[in-house]
Amino acid sequence: MAKRPMCLLCFLMVLSLGALELMGIPLIRGNPLPLNVQEQIEAHPGSIICGEVEQYENTEFSQSVYLKKTYLIHQSKKFPIENVRIFLKKEENLKPGMRILVKGTLKRVEGPANPGGFDSQHFYACRHIYYFMKNAVLQKKTAVYSGYRQLLLEIKESCRQILKEAAGKDAPVFCAMTLGDKQELDPETQMRYQLAGIIHILAISGLHISILGMGLYNLLKKMGLGIWPAGIFSLGVMLQYGIMTGGSVSTMRAVTMFLIAMGARITGRIYDMMSALSVTAMMILVESPAYLLDSGFLLSFGCVLGMGLAAKKICALAGAEKKWTKALVSPIALQLVTLPVMLKFFGEVSIAGFILNLLVLPSVGVVLTGGMVALLLGILSIPAAKLVILPARVLLLFYEYLCSLAGRSGWSTWIGGEPEIWQIVVYYGFLIIVLFMG
């Protein structure tokens, strides 16, 4: 680590956060809001809050709105309570950036109902959300809103409509892959992909960003733009893309690493993946330390370590130099690195994923490219978009077939249960020794 000071700094940061957690300081878990504010909410759950609209979506029974920079108002006093998710009784005409005043019942986000269940409390804590407001009624709203964020929202909605027309019943999968939008994705489809071990292709990842970002950069270079103009324009477009697609942790990680890689190229510096990964992790953890125990954060960074670091070491140890042998090693390395994380959060691992990823990973770029090209062509011609997305849809049928095969087999999933912390430490210690000291 001496040659990579960012890696050492990131390691020390993680250790420090772990130490603070053991000391009872609620940076990773728990509610960091002052006790007097928590007591105020407990004593008066029926409250009035004021916040800025960040995003909104229509659910089956209500309109869900995410507020940031939120204040609890009680007896003409304001108490900051960070971000809040509210559920309006009726649909309102809202826009990002609006300040709204709402009245309803504040309730602490609850933890998992059963051991091993989804921990919504920690999931929302990563996003600085500690309270929901149920049965909310809009009292006031400002006329001022963010034109920029509204434009991004309208662009995203236009892209969604193009994919619906071009991809038909496969549109929800393409929306998830290209726009980070899983609102209309069938839960059964998600479950099939998860059991088959290929759910990761439905998230915005480094593959997406590299195909889009580097594709745009190379296109601009071929059009005659220099390194600086092409690089800066590509940086700007990918940053807006990351914001438009929702800013999930995997998207933040991929976009930030792309920004660092492109910055290195523009300035003529050497790009080091491990240093970029460390800087990205520190930036995310500074903004929200709770991500340290978030499954999405750990899996996203684990996949990069598996594909970019562990795979190289395994190839070197095995003497695998040809492209097809490296393609075989990469999914195995990914599974080895993420195995304890999968067991810790889900208690099971897809054995079929070891095999299916060998078939899926080399072709998923075709699906993504097909979706993106269809989006661009769909602006001019929907029939052309339908034609160009056809090969990608054929591949999706192939993926569905693979998922169904995995679902019918009795060996597709190994239920290993949740490992203890000491078992995880021993596993990674042994893996590091084998890969780096063998």
pLDDT tens by residue, 289-321: 999 988 888 988 888 888 777 777 777 776 666
For 65-75, what is the mean pLDDT?
A: 89
DSSP 8-state code for residue 143: S
CATH number for 90: 2.40.50
What per-residue confidence (pLDDT) applies to 111?
79
Q: Give the start-end residues of each E strand in 109-210.
A: 129-141
User: Smallest Cα–Cα separation from 395: which of 366, 355, 354?
Assistant: 366
Beta bridge partners of 72: 49, 79
pLDDT band at 103 (very low <50, low <70, confident <90, very high): very high
- Tell me, yes or no, whether 170 lies in a domain: no
pLDDT given for residue 75 in this prediction: 79
Same domain, 219 and 256: yes
Q: Which two tokens stand for residue 282?
A: 């520190």
Residues 141 and 48 occupy one common structural domain: yes
Q: Is residue 400 part of a domain?
A: no
Same-domain check for residues 1 and 78: no
| pLDDT given for residue 53 in this prediction | 92
Mean pLDDT of the residues in the chain: 84
- Asked whether residue 2 carries a pLDDT value surpassing 60, the answer given is no
CA–CA separation, 92 and 363 (whole Å): 43
Looking at the fold, whether 72 and 12 belong to one and the same domain comes out as: no
Q: What is the pLDDT of residue 1?
A: 54
Q: Which of 269, 293, 317 is the last residue of a domain?
A: 293
Quick one: tokens of 159?
């892209």
Look at residue 77 in the predicted model and tell me its pLDDT: 83
More confident residue, 153 or 27: 153
Single out the residue of 360, 362, 369 nearest to residue 396, CA to CA: 360
- Identify the domain containing residue 246 by its residue range: 1-17+25-32+204-293
Q: For residue 158, tell me if it sits in a domain.
A: no
Amino acid at 428: Y
Residue 63 is assigned to a structural domain of this protein: yes
> Does residue 48 sit in the same domain as residue 132?
yes
Return d(Cα 80, Cα 41) in angstroms, integer.
Answer: 12
Same domain (yes/no): 77, 6: no
Identify which of 303, 308, 402 has the alpha carbon closest to the alpha carbon of residue 355: 402
CB-neighbour burial class of residue 331 (10 A; exposed 0-12, middle 13-18, buried 19+): buried
Residue linked to tokens 């920004």: 259
d(CA 362, CA 339): 21
* Same-domain status, 210 and 129: no
Residues 132 and 63 in one domain: yes
Domain boundary among 263, 293, 323: 293
Does residue 247 sit in the same domain as residue 287?
Answer: yes
Same domain, residue pair 51 and 140 = yes
State how many domains the chain has: 2
Q: How far apart are CA 267 and CA 261, in angstroms?
A: 10
Contacts (Cβ under 8 Å, ≥6 apart) of 321: 315
For β-strands 129-141 and 83-88, DSSP reports them as parallel
pLDDT in tens, 33-45: 888 888 888 887 8
The verdict on residue 353 lying in a domain is no
| SS3 call for 51 | strand
Q: Is residue 394 a part of any domain in this protein?
A: no
CA-CA distance, 403 to 363, in Å (whole number)? 15
Tell me the pTM.
Answer: 0.85
Q: How far apart are CA 406 and CA 360, in angstroms?
A: 13
In a domain, 258, yes or no: yes
> Is the pLDDT assigned to residue 66 strictly greater than 90?
yes
171-224 confidence digits (pLDDT tens): 888 888 888 888 788 888 888 887 777 787 887 777 677 778 888 888 888 888
Do both 215 and 252 map to the same domain? yes
Tell me how far apart the alpha carbons of residues 256 and 400 are, in angstroms, rounded to a whole number. Answer: 32
Listed residues 277, 293, 309: the one ending a domain = 293
Task: Give 128-140 pLDDT, tens digit per residue.
Answer: 999 999 889 999 9
Q: Is residue 209 part of a domain?
A: yes
